Amino acid sequence: MQQDALDDLRIFSQGAGASLSELPGYAYDARGGRGITVYVIDTGINPNHPVSIADYQYPIKLTYFQEFRNMYGNIRWLYLPGEPHIEGDENGHGTCVTSKIVGPTFGVAKSANIVIVKMAPIAGLLHVSRAIAAWGAVAGDVASENLQGRAVVINAMGGEQSRS
């Protein structure tokens, strides 16, 4: 039981008819996610990005480095062809998404493995061709790592609509 969990995590423990305010915390199986690999197609992760107290209404200051340092699974990177091999997240979105999946403090599948598929915007735009390439890279990696039936893909990228 994670008693200091925020509401957006505690809600996963909420049974039918139960009030969120009555829940003592987030009840989870510590094995949750074990043996599963989650591919996160997003802006990357930044292990040193600070989180302010106000961001999560926490009484202590955390950093994402602290969040990922104690995770149970592994993190690895999968780069698209032509993508610089830079482990970081200039936007912060991928870091937040990954924290919600595997972070010991905020994650719902605390024991899963993570593969970061960094798809940074080019000149502020995300191109459909790169999104398709990301899905192709994930499919190839799932096959080569023999992860069929044990992989989940999160495509959390968004962007402005193209007129072309």
**pLDDT tens for each residue of 80-109:** 887 888 888 888 888 888 888 887 777 888
Residue 65 has what pLDDT?
Answer: 52
Structure-token pair, residue 54: 């106000």
* Higher pLDDT pick, 24 / 112: 112
Residue 58 has what pLDDT?
Answer: 47
* 55, pLDDT greater than 80: no
Which DSSP helix (H) or strand (E) runs through 50? strand 50-51
The CATH number given to 31-155 is 3.40.50.200
Distance CA 68, CA 112 (A): 12
Burial-class residue 79 by CB neighbours within 10 Å (0-12, 13-18, 19+).
Answer: middle
Structure-token pair, residue 121: 């915007």
Predicted TM-score (pTM) of the model is 0.81
Distance CA 65, CA 50 (A): 8
Mean pLDDT of the chain: 80
Instruction: Please state the domain extents for the chain.
Output: 1-30, 31-155
Mean pLDDT for the stretch of residues 66-79: 79
Contact 83, 41 (CB under 8 A): no
Residue 123 has what pLDDT?
Answer: 76
Distance CA 162, CA 128 (A): 9
